Amino acid sequence: MKEYKTLTREKVDVDLTVVKYFTSETHLMQDWSDKMIDLVLNGVTLNGFKKDEVREMLRETYEALKRYEMIGPMASPFLNDPPAIVARAFRELYPCTEYIAQLVPDLRDESGAAVYGETLFPSDGSTPVVSISAEAPISAAPELLAHELAHVVAGEDAGHGPEWKAAEEAIFKRYNEILEAMIPSDTAEAVITPHKAGDGGIVAMITRANVPEPHGDDWKLTTCPDCGAECWETDLTRQALAAEPALRAACTLCALKGGAHRE
């Protein structure tokens, strides 16, 4: 159950096609003068204002508010807050799936080991709780949140199986689409396709914030050359880099942003 109230409704959206039925020309609210907006909000009467103009103002406000409320109970002060964009991507993909997210200092699992992310499913079936370590690097926050939200989608017993992996990749894909729309770049849209020799591109390294301990003797700690996040470089990564000089390595998130090709 949500811990906050929203003014917009899940099943009600602004229908762009109804504008053709308006009987008079309307303007975007951003083109209104301060005096006109003040009169609509605080004037003693709306006499003289066209009904369609006021309706368009309400529609524009509702649409913007619904996008805002997708994030959650609080909005970020940052224009490009990556975790907020992850939260928006998740809400657009899974509008009926609820969760509670929190930052936790010194986050530890049931055995007492330090972890960077954890999702708890209450035994009473209530809303899952996503916890992200407050000690994790800020650059790792979007990847950590996407990782845990994929657990929310897949369910408690799914582990890191195919359903979890599909959810994580869907969240990352939508995240990059939103980010690209917010901050257009000259590069091609980021896509994930099977890698072929000669393609070049970026080898995605496992982020330490996501997997704190190495899973093999060949895992060596390094840093992402783009964002500085700690990553695990494996023998497979080193072999790929040695075999194909056009390749470079980066953390998973930076690889996705850069339009990485990965197997």
pLDDT on residue 123: 92
pLDDT of residue 196: 61
Burial call 124-155: b when 16+ CB within 10 Å, e when fewer: eeeebbbbbbeebbebbbbbbbbbbbbbbbbe
Is 82-182 assigned to CATH 3.40.640.10?
Answer: no
Maximum separation of any 2 CA atoms in the chain, in Å: 77
Please tell me the predicted confidence (pLDDT) of residue 1.
37
**Do 92 and 149 form a contact (C-beta atoms < 8 A)?**
no
pTM of the model: 0.53
Q: Which residues of the chain have pLDDT under 70?
A: 1-4, 72-74, 79, 183-200, 256-263
**What pLDDT was estimated at residue 72?**
67
- String of DSSP letters for 112-134: S-B-SEEEE--TT----EEEEET
Q: Are strands 129-133 and 100-104 parallel, antiparallel or unpaired?
A: parallel
pLDDT score of 4: 59
The DSSP bridge pattern shows strands 247-251 and 201-207 to be: parallel
For the chain, which residues make up each domain, given as ranges?
Answer: 16-71, 82-182, 201-257
